[in-house]
Amino acid sequence: MTSVNTAVQLITREEAEKGRSAAGATCSSALAKGPWEYDIAESLAGVPAYGPGASSADVAPAATPRQGQLPEQYKLASDAELDTRIRAAKQKLGDKAVILGHFYQRDEVIQYADFVGDSFQLANAALTKPDAEAIIFCGVHFMAETADILSTPEQAVILPNLAAGCSMADMADTDSVEDCWEQLEELFGTDVDADGRVPVIPVTYMNSSAALKAFCGRNGGIVCTSSNARTVLEWAFERGQRVLFFPDQHLGRNTAKTLGVPLEQMPMWNPRKELGGNDEQALLDSRVILWHGFCSVHKRFNVGQIEKARADFPGINVIVHPECPMEVVDAADSAGSTDFIKKAIAAATTPTDFAIGTEINMVNRLAAENPQHNIFCLDPVICPCSTMYRIHPGYLAWVLEELVEGRVVNRITVDDSVQDHAKIALERMLAAKPK
């Protein structure tokens, strides 16, 4: 199957030859360019931006890390030359380097990964390579931070392009969450109820900065993934009267709904407004306070796409990620993490039609790996994650060849004080058991 990157290049070229826009087939023909074009644009403009793809309209915070210029030789190298150089560097480094590739990463990078998985699987996979002096994380910034927290101090975690952040993670910054917390403490007080439960427990999704994981560690809170969000919410409700859930409102809402929490007890917290835009009573009556954050990849899915898939393929199995809006999750046959989606497809013993609501690189790879099934992305427009796109084989070749020369570039480090508290929140997550 043609990779997402190649498909965008073909569409863009063909439509340009016909003098037409590629808008109906891909959300941005700029995806056909090398990500270094955006590194240059950012340095010229002096402000960061997510680049083409699903998050292109999201505003990147001023503090978002930017990538310096990729040396010219890597921009000019052909795909074949980069392939030769990456393989040669990898061979020279041997067990000293391990390459991790997220499910949403482009195929052109995934082909070099020693492990492919979701963010937490990858951070744990790195632990199985204690001899690796360098962990090259082909994912986004918060994932590299988690890998740094879980790896040994001697191991260097490298993000090949520093501009590979995550628009969702950026929607909850530490200052805004601290400010929210102060307002909630003032409103709720700090007294426990008759069952010994504190007024509110902070829960952060894995897709957040290390600083916010540390915030949760310091304040009796916990981290969750899309696989264990339900278990984590149950853990939190045993210890707290309510939950502050950030940054993804959809994962919070979809999960709390499965636990029977009514929508009217899930107010949204808008960090730009006093009391998050709520009146005091709504917060006092709340069970889950949802941060106003979302994933721009999963926000693209809608009920109309599901209706079309069902009309085109009667009996189709529609599976979506819980970062999708609630009405999409409600209309699907099932919802779950990337691991859940993979397992659901693996469990189908007869040829099946599947419409999947998650990032296109992963869906296309599942389709290629399972030719016995008809698997396609619910969104007909090719629109990958903007920040995963910022990693390209050129950056991978660069960081690997620097390692061969004994130089570590683009290292991601989390301060010890942040690490200690973030680990507490992560350890609570690992200890939480399903009911």
One-letter amino acid identity for 252? Answer: G
Within residues 119-148, the interface with ligand SF4 by CB under 6 A covers: 140
The DSSP secondary-structure symbol of 103 reads: T
240 phi and psi angles, rounded to 5 deg: -140, 155
Locate 29 and state its tokens: 């023909």
The residue (of 227 and 352) whose beta carbon lies closer to ligand SF4 is 227
210 contacts ligand SF4 (rule: CB under 6 A)? no
Q: How far is the CB of 125 from ligand SF4 (least distance, A)?
A: 18
207 contacts ligand SF4 (rule: CB under 6 A)? yes
Kind of pairing between the strands at 156-158 and 222-224: unpaired
The site map against ligand SF4 for 244-283 (x = CB under 6 A) is ----------------------------------------
The site map against ligand SF4 for 159-178 (x = CB under 6 A) is -------xxx----------
Kind of pairing between the strands at 134-138 and 115-117: unpaired
Locate 78 and state its tokens: 């052909």
Q: How far is the CB of 55 from ligand SF4 (least distance, A)?
A: 5
* Other Cβ atoms closer than 10 A to 311: 9
Q: Contacts with ligand SF4: how many residues (CB under 6 A)?
A: 14
Kind of pairing between the strands at 201-205 and 243-246: parallel
Closest CA to 31 of 45, 15, 18: 15
297 contacts ligand SF4 (rule: CB under 6 A)? yes
Q: How far is the CB of 386 from ligand SF4 (least distance, A)?
A: 7
The C-alpha atoms of residue 7 and residue 5 are separated, in whole angstroms, by 5
Locate 275 and state its tokens: 């009391």
List 5, 55, 146, 155, residue binding ligand SF4 (CB under 6 A)? 55
List 146, 387, 410, 419, residue binding ligand SF4 (CB under 6 A)? 387
Interface segment toward ligand SF4; rule CB under 6 A; list 145-153, 172-180, 274-282, 292-300: 292-300
The C-alpha atoms of residue 327 and residue 191 are separated, in whole angstroms, by 37
One-letter amino acid identity for 241? Answer: Q
Within residues 329-368, the interface with ligand SF4 by CB under 6 A covers: 359
Q: How far is the CB of 169 from ligand SF4 (least distance, A)?
A: 6
The residue (of 203 and 297) whose beta carbon lies closer to ligand SF4 is 297
156 contacts ligand SF4 (rule: CB under 6 A)? no
385 contacts ligand SF4 (rule: CB under 6 A)? yes
Rg (CA), the chain: 22
- From residue 360, alpha-carbon distances to 26, 257, 308 in Å are 11, 27, 18
* Other Cβ atoms closer than 10 A to 41: 14
104 contacts ligand SF4 (rule: CB under 6 A)? yes
The residue (of 166 and 283) whose beta carbon lies closer to ligand SF4 is 166
* Residue ranges binding ligand SF4 (CB under 6 A): 55, 104, 140, 166-168, 207, 295-297, 359, 385, 387-388
